[in-house]
Amino acid sequence: MSTLAPQLINLFATLILLLSFSMISQRRIVSLINLFAIQGAALVAASFLLGYVTHQPDLYVSGVLTLVLKVIFIPWMLHRLIRKLNVRWDVESLLNVPTTMLVGIALVIFAFSLALPISRLSQSIAGGSLGIALACVLLSFMMMITRSKAVPQVIGFLSMENGLIFAATTVTNGMPMIVEFGIALDVLVGVLILGVFMFQIREKFDSLDIHNLETLKDDSA
């Protein structure tokens, strides 16, 4: 049992990384949302497992919070949103998929090398996953930059929060409860605002292509 738990947590961490990569290469928005939900589920499982192993009830609460918010509510809301906005189709990307993957690899190497000295200092049993969490954050960041439609940008933003919560969970067994609630509230409100915005962007531009949102420049009057 003592070696099984860290292995399982490493497994979940690898799964989360795998999902981040598949989100980058995914073209259909519906699958993107589902992958995001699965990533949230892996995060919840890791929280529960860690809570069970370290006997910290805070992690259970954090897990439930993530479950309600990121596995159930936000994917449901996003599905409803894309149904109303009618944006099921293939997603264009700034870079083609192989280049995206190569850049992703570079980011992963960067994140791992950055985190390696620190994860050795961690007290938690899952400290080695800090590099993976940072890699997920950077990959989501890249997804936000290279996608040209609004919904994948939002999902990239949310997936970045996933990576950060995962980092907090594994490295320090979660953050103080009040901070976690604050973060959850912020994320929720953020997604609601973004949802509202997407409607308005759609109304104004008749499309959710972000390229329409690049007209403000320095010498424009």
Partner 1 sequence: MSAMGALSQLLALVTALVLAPLLTGWVNQWRHWLQNKSGPGLLQPYRMLHKLFQKESLVAEHASQLFRSAPYVIFGCMLLAGAIVPTLSTDLPLSPAADAIALVGLFALARVFMSLAAMDVGTAFGTLGARREMLVGFLAEPALLMVLFCASMITGSTSLTVIVETLAHRELAIYPSLLLAGVAFTMVSLAENARVPVDNPDTHLELTMIHEALILEYSARHLALLEWAASLKLFVYSCIGLALFFPWGVAEAHAPLALLLALPVLVFKLAVGGMAMALIETVSAKMRIFRVTEFLGTAFLLAVIGLLVNVLLGVG
Partner 2 sequence: MSALVFVLGFPLLGGLALAFYGHRPWARDVNVAFSLGTFLSACFLTNHTIDHGPELLWDQQFYIDPLNVFLVTLTAFVGLTTAIFSRPYMRVEQDHGKMTPPRMRLYHSMYQLFSFTMLLGFTTNNLGIIWVAMEAATLTTVLLVSVYRTSASLEAAWKYFILCGVGIAQALFGTILLYMAADKVLGAEHATLLWTSLNDVKGQLDPTIITLAFVFLLIGYGTKVGLVPLHSWLPDAHAEGPTPVSAVLSGLLLNVAMYAVLRCKVLTDGALGTQMAGQLMMGFGLLSVTVAAFFLSRQKDVKRMFSYSSIEHMGLITFAFGMGSPLANFAGLLHMTVHSLVKSAIFFTVGHATQKAGTQVMSEIRGLIKVNPTVGWGLMLGVMAILGMPPFGVFASEFLILTTAMREQPWAAPFLFLALGIAFASILARVLPMVFGDTTLKPLAHPPALLPVFVHLVLALVLGLYIPPYLNGWYVQAASLLGG
Read off the tokens for 156: 């990239």
Asked whether position 34 contacts partner 1 by CB under 8 A, the answer is: no
By beta-carbon proximity to partner 1, the closer residue of 8 and 72 is 8
Select from partner 2, partner 1, none the partner in contact with residue 17, using the beta carbon and a kind-dependent cut-off of 5 to 8 Å.
Answer: partner 1
Q: Are 41 and 163 in contact (CB under 8 A)?
A: no
DSSP, collapsed to helix, strand or coil, labels residue 209 as strand
Asked whether position 119 contacts partner 1 by CB under 8 A, the answer is: yes
Select from partner 1, partner 2, none the partner in contact with residue 137, using the beta carbon and a kind-dependent cut-off of 5 to 8 Å.
Answer: partner 2
Asked whether position 2 contacts partner 1 by CB under 8 A, the answer is: no
In 3D, which of 51, 81, 77, 53 has the Cα closest to residue 64? Answer: 51
CA 139 to chain centre: 9
Site for partner 2 in 110-149 (CB under 8 A): 114, 117-118, 121-123, 134, 137, 141, 144
CA 139 vs CA 3, 77, 90, 111, 146: distances in Å: 29, 23, 20, 10, 11
Asked whether position 19 contacts partner 1 by CB under 8 A, the answer is: no
Q: Which of 102, 177, 196, 213 binds partner 1 (CB under 8 A)?
A: 102
Strand segments, DSSP code E, in 42-184 are: none
Select from partner 2, partner 1, none the partner in contact with residue 10, using the beta carbon and a kind-dependent cut-off of 5 to 8 Å.
Answer: partner 1
For the beta carbon of residue 107, count every other beta carbon within 10 angstroms: 18
Site for partner 2 in 146-165 (CB under 8 A): 150, 153, 157, 160-161, 164
Read off the tokens for 91: 């997603």
Q: Which helix (H) or strand (E) holds 208?
A: none
Residues lying near partner 1 in the complex (CB under 8 A): 3-4, 7-8, 10-11, 13-15, 17-18, 21, 25, 96-98, 101-102, 104-105, 108-109, 112, 115-116, 119, 128-129, 131-132
